Amino acid sequence: MSLQELLTKAYIGGSWRAGRGGTFPVYDPATGEEITRVADCTVEDLDEAIEAASEAYSSWRHTTVKQRATLLHKIQVALLDNKDTIATTLTRENGKPKAEAAGEVMFAASFFEWFAEETRRQYGETIPSAAATKRMITVRQPVGVAAVITPWNFPIAMLARKVSAALAAGCTCVIKPAEDTPLVALAFAKVCESVGVPVGVVNVVPCSRGRVQQIGSRLCESPKVHILSFTGSTAVGKWLYSRCGSTLKKVSLELGGDAPFIVFPSANMDTAIAGTMVCKFRNTGQLDKMVRETVSAGAQVVRGGASQGGLYYAPTLLTGVTPDMALAKNEIFGPVAPIIKFSTEEEVVSLANTTDRGLAGYFYSNDLSQVWRVAEALEVGMVGVNEGLLSTCEAPFGGFKHSGLGKEGSKHGLDEYSNLKYICFGV
């Protein structure tokens, strides 16, 4: 199978369809030029996708774990076989370097390999009974139809991390990709079609920015959707969470972060600098105004500090930043390093924990006792100790506080898409 052309139609119930809302443009962020136009799906299109997923669920849920594992492995292989083509598409609509895009495709494929293996390990348990006349066990069963809303910054990786677990658990999916990056999601749909994923098990419903709220509301409020998984901003995540209350569906949220990066006196500076580069300077963002405000408040620009044309912003180093400045309290989402001095371990840990977010935290130290103290004290879901790259299919990804709910990846990733059922036998 080879992806030779851009796919622009929605994928619903095994068919490639135009959107009832016409089309919307997808732009190259490097040049601002239009790449192509993609199907603009309406609520009516979405309802058909939900119905297709619901119908497919009735049979998909009963497939054996071996059957699901075989298909997930086929998706993994197809992603790798088409790595260069998908990476090119990703670069065109997202703007990240080609090497980074190719790495993201491989990262996406790793989740299908992982959950192909984990689907065969959805173990229940036997519970010792206090009564001689009872036997108690637990089993795991799929939740149902999963709504998957993916972000623009890692458009194939975040899709894969969610969909691989959902399919492995026995759920079907309706995917709403970010309006800036729908093309790789549609390429993924083609991959699924090519390897024989049954009709309706995977559906991709792109839409323009003007329809996002309507589509999001329907996914939250539809009684035929049983779990909503979203990666994106904290503000949007809270809005989706509140809308899901009417149907009491499960919600998995991977939201904004404000990750501290702490360098203690005992740290190896070369290692710390390398870690800074891999975890803090990987994608782009819109932050020109926030940097100007910080400089006006008294910070100094050591390097960078200006746009480089289009949507690109120069890597920027700021000193003289204080904890009360906006840049220190908000998610930057761009290549800016604000430096804040500290004197004691207690001071910097307290500063790191003042934010209402808690996705990840990083620190560098060669003091063994300090390593344990700080790793346990940081109020985040993931901690990198002398390491800047945390995410891998084998480990749980997710945050504390306003950074979200639930875990993705690892053996715990299946829990989001399954229900634990207790069965009591009278004997």
> 10 Å Cβ neighbour count for 101?
24
Architecture in CATH for domain 10-255+403-426:
3-Layer(aba) Sandwich (3.40)
Helix (H, G, I), strand (E, B) or coil at 164: helix
pLDDT tens-place string over residues 300-334: 888 887 777 667 778 888 899 988 888 888 888 77
The pLDDT-based confidence of 4 (bands split at 50, 70, 90) is low
SS (H, E, C) 39-53: ECCCHHHHHHHHHHH
Mean pLDDT, rounded, for 34-50: 98
pTM, to two decimals = 0.94
> 10 Å Cβ neighbour count for 398?
24
How far apart CA 211 and CA 10 sit, in angstroms, is 15
Q: Could you report how far apart the first and last alpha carbons of the chain are, in Å?
A: 54
Q: Among 169, 79, 67, 63, which residue's Cα sits nearest to residue 118? A: 169
SS (H, E, C) 381-411: CEEEECCCCCCCCCCCECCEECCEECCECCH
Given a contact cutoff of 8 angstroms between Cβ atoms, the answer to whether 321 and 339 are in contact is yes
Question: What is the secondary structure of 301-344 as a DSSP string?
Answer: EEE--SB-STT-B--EEEES--TTSHHHHS---SSEEE----SS
pLDDT tens-place string over residues 231-290: 999 999 999 999 999 999 999 999 999 899 999 999 999 999 899 888 877 665 445 555
Is residue 419 predicted with pLDDT exceeding 90?
yes
How far apart CA 43 and CA 94 sit, in angstroms, is 26
Q: Which sign, positive or negative, has the C-alpha torsion 49, 55, 61, 62?
A: negative
Helix (H, G, I), strand (E, B) or coil at 81: helix
247's tokens:
């149907």
The pLDDT-based confidence of 142 (bands split at 50, 70, 90) is very high
Is residue 154 predicted with pLDDT exceeding 70?
yes
The domains of the chain are located at 10-255+403-426, 261-385
CATH 3.30.360.10 correct for 261-385: no
54's tokens:
């619901």
